[in-house]
C-alpha cells in the first residue's frame, strides 16, 4: 500500500470540530497521519481536492444486502460497491435474510462473505427472535459472541411487549443496542401507503400514524423501565418525533434515525401509483416531513440512515397493492440530504456530515466516523455543488428500485477511500 496525499480539500471532521482547507495525509499502513515525510510525499498517490469536501467515510447503520438467500436482489459484493459509490465506508446489515440471521453460523457466513467480497466495512446484526417470527428469543449471547453489533427484527416488529421486554433486558446484559422497526401490525393489515387524503383519493388502504406511534411509546416505556438502549428505525410520524423528544428530556436511552426519503418526499408522490415510492413506513404528509427535519435539527433524531432495500424490476413492476416495500438509497443519500437539509432547510454542512458519520458510528460503537490522527483512513471526498442525473440502472446496486432514477441531483461523491485504499474514484470502482 502506498501513502496518500489529499491536497487543498475543505476538511470537515465533526469528531474533532475541524472545518478548514488543507491537506489530509495517509501513511502506508492506511492510517491518518498529521504529515508525510518528504520521501513519502514523493512516493504518495496525490489527489488534488480543490473545490471538494473531505470528510470521514459515511456510516449507514441500516442497509439490506440480502445475502444469504436473496442474492437475486443484492449481494454483499454489489451492496458494498453501491455503498462505496455513495461515499459510505461502513455499513450495518439487517438480518432479514433467507434464512434469517438468528444464529452464530449464519452470522459467520455473512462475516466470511464480507471479508471475501466487500470493499467497505460491513457489520452484521442478529435477530431479536428465532426466525424473526416474534415468538421466542434468538440466542442473544451467542449472537454477541459471533460478532453482531445490534439485534433487530427489522421488517417484522416484535408485537409482544412481554417478549420485547425480555429481549431488551438480555440485550442490556450483553451491551447490545436493540433496533426496532416500529409498527403495530394490527393497524396495518393490507395497508400500502399513508392514511389520509391521498390514500382516499387513490383508493388505497391507508397506514395510520398510530401504528408507529404506539410502538414508539411502548419502546420508550420499556427503555425507561429497563435502562436498555433502544434505537428507533426510520421514524416517519410527527407525533413519534414528539414522543422521542419528551423521552430524551427525561434521560431515557432512546435514539432514532430518519431516512433521506422521509425528509424529501410526501404521500403526494404516490399520485401516479409508482411503486418506487412504496416503502415501509410510508412517506407521509408535509407536516410529518417538516417535523422530522426539525427533529434532526434539535437532536431529537440522532442520525440519518438509508434503509437501502433492493428489489428486482419484476417484483416492483406489479399492482401497487402487491409490490414489495422499499427502495435503494446508498448512491443517492448524500445529494438528497444536501438538497433537503443544506439548501432548503439551512443546515450547516458540518451538522449534516455529523449526522452521517460520527453520530451513527458512536451509536453502535463502531471504529469509524473520524479523521483523527491514527484513525483508519476511511474518507469520502465529494463536490457539494456538482449537478448530475442519477441513472439507477447504471448504478452499482444489483437492483434499480429508486424514486430518483433519471432525477437531477446536486452534490456528488468523487472519491471513496477505505483503510487508505482508493476503492472508488470519479465514477469508477477501483476494486
- As annotated, the active-site residues are 307
How many CB atoms sit inside 10 A of residue 429's CB? Answer: 14
Contacts of 211 (CB under 8 A, 6+ apart): 183, 184, 185, 187, 188, 191, 281
Cell numbers 460491513 label which residue?
A: 122
In 288-351 the beta strands, taken as DSSP E runs, fall at 303-304
Rg (CA), the chain: 21
Q: How far apart are alpha carbons 357 and 335 in whole angstroms?
A: 15
Q: How far apart are alpha carbons 321 and 312 in whole angstroms?
A: 16
User: What is the sign, positive or negative, of the torsion defined by CA atoms of 268, 271, 277, 282?
Assistant: positive
Angle separating helix axes 210-226 and 238-249, nearest 10 degrees: 10
168, containing H or E segment: helix 161-173
Q: How far apart are alpha carbons 391 and 8 in whole angstroms?
A: 30
Contacts of 124 (CB under 8 A, 6+ apart): 92, 93, 95, 101, 107, 110, 111, 114, 147, 148, 149
Q: How far apart are alpha carbons 88 and 174 in whole angstroms?
A: 28
Q: How far apart are alpha carbons 115 and 113 in whole angstroms?
A: 5
Angular region, 133: left φ>0, alpha ψ -120 to 50, beta rest: alpha
Dihedral of CA atoms 100, 102, 104, 108 in degrees, nearest 10, equals 30
Angle at the Cα of 232 (from 64 to 396), degrees rounded to 5? 20
The span from the first CA to the last CA of the chain, in angstroms, equals 14
Length of the chain: 431
Of 271, 252, 258, 357, the C-alpha closest to 298 is 258
Grid cell, residue 412, equals 456528488
How many CB atoms sit inside 10 A of residue 408's CB? Answer: 10
Amino acid at each position: 500500500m502506498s501513502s496518500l496525499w489529499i491536497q487543498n480539500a475543505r476538511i470537515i471532521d465533526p469528531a474533532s470540530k475541524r472545518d478548514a482547507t488543507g491537506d489530509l495525509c495517509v501513511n502506508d499502513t492506511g492510517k491518518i497521519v498529521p504529515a508525510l515525510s518528504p520521501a513519502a510525499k514523493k512516493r504518495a498517490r496525490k489527489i488534488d481536492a480543490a473545490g471538494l469536501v473531505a470528510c470521514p467515510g459515511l456510516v449507514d447503520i441500516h442497509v439490506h444486502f440480502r445475502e444469504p438467500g436473496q442474492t437475486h436482489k443484492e449481494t454483499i459484493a454489489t451492496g458494498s460497491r453501491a455503498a462505496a459509490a455513495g461515499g459510505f465506508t461502513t455499513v450495518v446489515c439487517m438480518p432479514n435474510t433467507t434464512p434469517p440471521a438468528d444464529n452464530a453460523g449464519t452470522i459467520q457466513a455473512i462475516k466470511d462473505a464480507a471479508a471475501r467480497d466487500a470493499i467497505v466495512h460491513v457489520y452484521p446484526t442478529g435477530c431479536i427472535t428465532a426466525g424473526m417470527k416474534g415468538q421466542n428469543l434468538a440466542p442473544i449471547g451467542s449472537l454477541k459472541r459471533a460478532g453482531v453489533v445490534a439485534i433487530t427484527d427489522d421488517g417484522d416488529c416484535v408485537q409482544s411487549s412481554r417478549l420485547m421486554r425480555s429481549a431488551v433486558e438480555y440485550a442490556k446484559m450483553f451491551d447490545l443496542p436493540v433496533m426496532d422497526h416500529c409498527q403495530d401490525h394490527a393497524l396495518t393489515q393490507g395497508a400500502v401507503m399513508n392514511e389520509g387524503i391521498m390514500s382516499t383519493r387513490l383508493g388505497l388502504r391507508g397506514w395510520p400514524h398510530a401504528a408507529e406511534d404506539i410502538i414508539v411509546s411502548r419502546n420508550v416505556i420499556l427503555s425507561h423501565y429497563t435502562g436498555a438502549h433502544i434505537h428507533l428505525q426510520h421514524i416517519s410520524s410527527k407525533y413519534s418525533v414528539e414522543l422521542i423528544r419528551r423521552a430524551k428530556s427525561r434521560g431515557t436511552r432512546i435514539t432514532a434515525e430518519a431516512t433521506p426519503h422521509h425528509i424529501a418526499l410526501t404521500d403526494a408522490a404516490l399520485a401516479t401509483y409508482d411503486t418506487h415510492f412504496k416503502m415501509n413506513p410510508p412517506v407521509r404528509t408535509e407536516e410529518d416531513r417538516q417535523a422530522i427535519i426539525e427533529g434532526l435539527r434539535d437532536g431529537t433524531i440522532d442520525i440519518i440512515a438509508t434503509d437501502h432495500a433492493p428489489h428486482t424490476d419484476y417484483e416492483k413492476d406489479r399492482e401497487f397493492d402487491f409490490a414489495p416495500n422499499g427502495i435503494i438509497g446508498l448512491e443517492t443519500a448524500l445529494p438528497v440530504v444536501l438538497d433537503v437539509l443544506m439548501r432548503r432547510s439551512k443546515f450547516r454542512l458540518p451538522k449534516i456530515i455529523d449526522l452521517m458519520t460520527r453520530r451513527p458510528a458512536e451509536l453502535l460503537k463502531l471504529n469509524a466516523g473520524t479523521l483523527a490522527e491514527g484513525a483508519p483512513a476511511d474518507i469520502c471526498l465529494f463536490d457539494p455543488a456538482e449537478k448530475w442525473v442519477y441513472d439507477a440502472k447504471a448504478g452499482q446496486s444489483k437492483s434499480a428500485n429508486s424514486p430518483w432514477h433519471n432525477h437531477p441531483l446536486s452534490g456528488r461523491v468523487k472519491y471513496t477511500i477505505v483503510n487508505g485504499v482508493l476503492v472508488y474514484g470519479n465514477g469508477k470502482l477501483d476494486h
